[in-house]
Amino acid sequence: MFRRVAIASLSALALSLAAAPASAADGQQLFNMQCKMCHAGGPMGPALNGVAGAKIASKPFAYSPALKAKEGTWTDANLDAFLKAPTQFAPGTKMMIAVPSDENRAAIIAFLKTLK
Ligand code: HEC
């Protein structure tokens, strides 16, 4: 229930930002609204510092078998594919949040690269 309400209001926020150009600053805003609640070092999601370029599912976190089974690293292309359609990139993943807007994904990926 909470999850459904949260996702609905988050998509409304994402839509209102859809026209913004892709930049790390925009990405940070999007991240704070759509991602941070799970990716701030708590049990809800893995920490994302240094995730760009890192091996997929390599943080100390209870990943799904689906994500653990993925080979490779978080290249731009993999991040883009995952954020566009997580359950297609890794069927069975525990992360359900998708970012349909190309521009918003680009901004978020630019921001992720600043997280060292
Ligand atoms: C409801 C909680 C939740 C939200 C919101 C969320 N994530 Fe996640 N995220 C997860 C979980 C859980 C995993 C691990 C997935 C798995 O094990 O299948 C994950 C995994 C990831 C990974 C891979 C990390 C790794 O170590 O391989 C990235 C990158 C990521 N999320 C980015 C994002 C971004 C960007 C957003 C916002 C658009 C976001 N997440 C929103 C829960 C969430």
Instruction: Answer whether CATH 1.10.760.10 is correct for domain 2-112.
Output: yes
Q: Is the pLDDT of residue 44 over 70?
A: yes
Start-end of H helices in 1-116:
2-16, 24-34, 65-68, 76-84, 86-89, 102-112
42 pLDDT band (50/70/90 cuts)? Answer: confident
Site to probe by mutation for ligand 1, drawn from 26, 61, 63, 95 as the one with most ligand atoms within 8 Å of Cβ, is: 95
The mean per-residue pLDDT over the stretch 63-84 comes to 98
Query: How far, in Å, is the centroid of ligand 1 from the Cα of 19?
Result: 24
Its pTM stands at 0.86
The mean per-residue pLDDT over the stretch 11-28 comes to 68
The residue whose CA is least distant from atom 39 of ligand 1 is 35
Q: Is the pLDDT of residue 86 over 70?
A: yes
Share of the chain above pLDDT 70, in %: 82
Query: How far, in Å, is the centroid of ligand 1 from the Cα of 46?
Result: 7
76 pLDDT band (50/70/90 cuts)? Answer: very high
